């Protein structure tokens, strides 16, 4: 089977993980956690980075740091991996689902329209007029590595006292073009951002995540809550309810070695994206989705779009064909406003997300994908 997305270990992974075992520093203390945090700051330009046990843990704590309270509402895209939506519920807050744009990201224009038409400002906060709930935050997700269009949205949220918590789990290596948002890295535009180092991401630590922020108070609180809210570590004094969300030194060692290869992975993936685009361009009814031109994309995932009439097969037919040929391909995520825990939640004019969901397939995209495997995929696509 040609896998969809598996890690690629070509650097110092063995050496750094071995060092953890040899020295006994395998758990929540050791130099690699701090090295990883420092190197992520250097790679993204964030002032502070706080390593976490997972991207989901990072999102949970980031939302809490951003001030999301029980009963608040948080604007989320319907088309995303479900983790950021679940993180809203961990805090007993409610998601409000938003449509996506042509790059699969939360639609900025629609979000602005929602804010203008459906919210009012009271006592310095934004309230949803239909529900009376405070809108505390929005979670733009940089889906598939495509940078979300945050230029106007971040300003609109700032003026309304709505925190932007960016989910940059999939976009490590993606930064805006110099003319947009100062060329900054995704995850550093909002008040707080999150990364994931799960096994399928562009850089993996086995499992892990990172909270990014420029705000020293946010950084302190994130560190406090991810490490059991210790007020006196010697006497076991805790003035608040914390979590065991710290990354282990073993995971960080792997992450440090992987991060050293980020630029190389981005280059490989860009070349693969271009090769897929050229090959797919020759096939009637297929098209490879382009990333937005206002950013430099990490090309983490490739989105194949199918015009079922011209291609002669629909998405599910194509998925069957690829899977039968030993190629792991997948539809994009099931729209979250249809998922059982969220069926009764508010949503706003969701249209494009459904069209893209019906017509898109993710193709194998591992950095280690061989030329032979690439040809197998494109051959299988041709026989429509
Ligand atoms: C992977 C991912 C997460 C969750 O990260 P974990 O490290 O697996 O907990 C969150 N959001 C998005 C968009 C992701 O792709």
From the alpha carbon of 58, which atom of ligand 1 is closest?
9
Answer yes or no: pTM beyond 0.95. Answer: yes
pLDDT at 202 over 80: yes
Residue among 83, 165, 174, 255 whose CB has most ligand 1 atoms within 8 A, to mutate: 83
CA distance 208 to 201: 10
Give 283's pLDDT tier (boundaries 50, 70, 90).
very high
From the alpha carbon of 200, which atom of ligand 1 is closest?
1
What is the residue extent of each domain of the chain? 13-259, 262-383
Q: Which residues sit with their C-beta closer than 6 Å to ligand 1?
A: 54-56, 80-81, 83-84, 141, 167, 169-170, 196, 198, 209
From the alpha carbon of 197, which atom of ligand 1 is closest?
7
Ligand 1 center to 175 CA (angstroms): 19
Nearest alpha carbon, ligand 1 atom 6: 55
Q: Which long-range contacts (CB under 8 A, 24 or more apart) does 113-121 make?
A: 114/75, 114/348, 115/156, 115/157, 115/160, 115/162, 118/348, 119/160, 121/160, 121/161
CA distance 249 to 200: 20
Ligand 1 center to 55 CA (angstroms): 5
pLDDT at 376 over 90: yes
Condensed to tens digits (0 to 9), the pLDDT of residues 16-57 reads 999 999 999 999 888 999 999 999 999 999 999 999 999 999
- Using a pLDDT cut of 70, give the percent of the chain over it: 100
From the alpha carbon of 207, which atom of ligand 1 is closest?
7
The answer to whether 161 touches 126, Cβ cutoff 8 Å, is: yes
From the alpha carbon of 57, which atom of ligand 1 is closest?
9
pLDDT at 28: 84
Condensed to tens digits (0 to 9), the pLDDT of residues 42-98 reads 999 999 999 999 999 999 999 999 999 999 999 999 999 999 999 999 999 999 999
From the alpha carbon of 83, which atom of ligand 1 is closest?
10
pLDDT at 286 over 70: yes
> What rounded mean pLDDT belongs to the chain?
97
Nearest by Cα to 88 from 158, 142, 137, 55: 137
Condensed to tens digits (0 to 9), the pLDDT of residues 145-197 reads 999 999 999 999 999 999 999 999 999 999 999 999 999 999 999 999 999 99
Condensed to tens digits (0 to 9), the pLDDT of residues 105-157 reads 999 999 999 999 999 999 999 999 999 999 999 999 999 999 999 999 999 99
Ligand 1 center to 56 CA (angstroms): 6
Residue among 104, 148, 171, 196 whose CB has most ligand 1 atoms within 8 A, to mutate: 196
Ligand 1 center to 117 CA (angstroms): 31
pLDDT at 261: 98
From the alpha carbon of 54, which atom of ligand 1 is closest?
7
Ligand 1 center to 59 CA (angstroms): 9
Condensed to tens digits (0 to 9), the pLDDT of residues 346-368 reads 999 999 999 999 999 999 999 99
CATH class of this structure's domain 13-259: alpha beta
Nearest by Cα to 88 from 157, 156, 163: 163
pLDDT at 383: 72
CATH of domain 262-383: 3.90.1150.10
pLDDT at 384 over 70: no
pLDDT at 271: 98
Give 330's pLDDT tier (boundaries 50, 70, 90).
very high
The answer to whether 203 touches 258, Cβ cutoff 8 Å, is: yes
Nearest by Cα to 327 from 353, 359, 309, 302: 302
Nearest alpha carbon, ligand 1 atom 5: 55
Residue among 89, 170, 226 whose CB has most ligand 1 atoms within 8 A, to mutate: 170
Nearest alpha carbon, ligand 1 atom 2: 169
Nearest alpha carbon, ligand 1 atom 10: 83
Residue 33's CB: how many other CB atoms inside 10 A? Answer: 25
């Amino acid at each position: 089977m040609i896998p969809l997305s598996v890690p690629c270990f070509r650097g110092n992974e063995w050496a750094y993980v071995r060092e953890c075992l040899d020295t006994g520093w395998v758990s929540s203390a050791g130099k690699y956690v701090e090295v990883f945090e420092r190197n992520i700051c250097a790679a993204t330009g964030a002032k502070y980075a706080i390593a976490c046990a997972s991207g989901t843990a990072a999102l949970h704590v980031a939302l809490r740091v951003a001030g999301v309270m029980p009963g608040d509402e948080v604007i989320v895209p319907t088309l995303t991996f479900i983790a950021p939506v679940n993180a809203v519920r961990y805090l007993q807050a409610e998601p409000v689902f938003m449509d996506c744009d042509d790059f699969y990201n939360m639609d900025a224009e629609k979000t602005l329209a929602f804010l203008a038409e459906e919210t009012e400002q009271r006592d310095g906060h934004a309230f949803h007029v239909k529900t009376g709930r405070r809108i505390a935050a929005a979670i733009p997700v940089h889906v598939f590595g495509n940078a979300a269009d945050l230029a106007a949205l971040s300003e609109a949220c700032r003026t309304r006292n709505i925190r932007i918590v960016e989910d940059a789990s999939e976009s490590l290596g993606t930064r805006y073009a110099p003319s947009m948002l100062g060329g900054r890295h995704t995850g550093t535009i909002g008040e707080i951002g999150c990364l994931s180092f799960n096994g399928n991401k562009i850089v993996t630590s086995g499992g892990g995540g990172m909270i990014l922020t420029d705000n020293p108070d946010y950084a302190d609180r994130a560190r406090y809550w991810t490490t059991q809210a210790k007020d006196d570590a010697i006497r076991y004094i805790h003035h608040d309810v914390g979590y065991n969300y710290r990354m282990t030194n073993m995971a960080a060692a792997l992450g440090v070695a992987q991060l050293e290869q980020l630029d190389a992975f981005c280059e490989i993936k860009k070349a693969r994206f271009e090769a897929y685009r050229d090959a797919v361009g020759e096939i009637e009814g297929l098209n490879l989705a382009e990333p937005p031109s206002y950013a430099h994309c990490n090309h983490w995932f490739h989105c194949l779009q199918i015009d079922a009439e011209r291609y002669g097969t629909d998405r599910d037919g194509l998925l069957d064909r690829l899977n039968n040929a030993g190629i792991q391909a997948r539809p994009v995520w099931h729209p979250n406003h249809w998922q059982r825990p969220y069926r009764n939640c508010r949503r706003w004019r969701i249209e494009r997300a459904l069209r893209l969901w019906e017509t898109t397939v993710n193709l194998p995209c591992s950095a280690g994908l061989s030329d032979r495997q690439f040809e197998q995929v494109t051959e299988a696509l041709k026989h429509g």
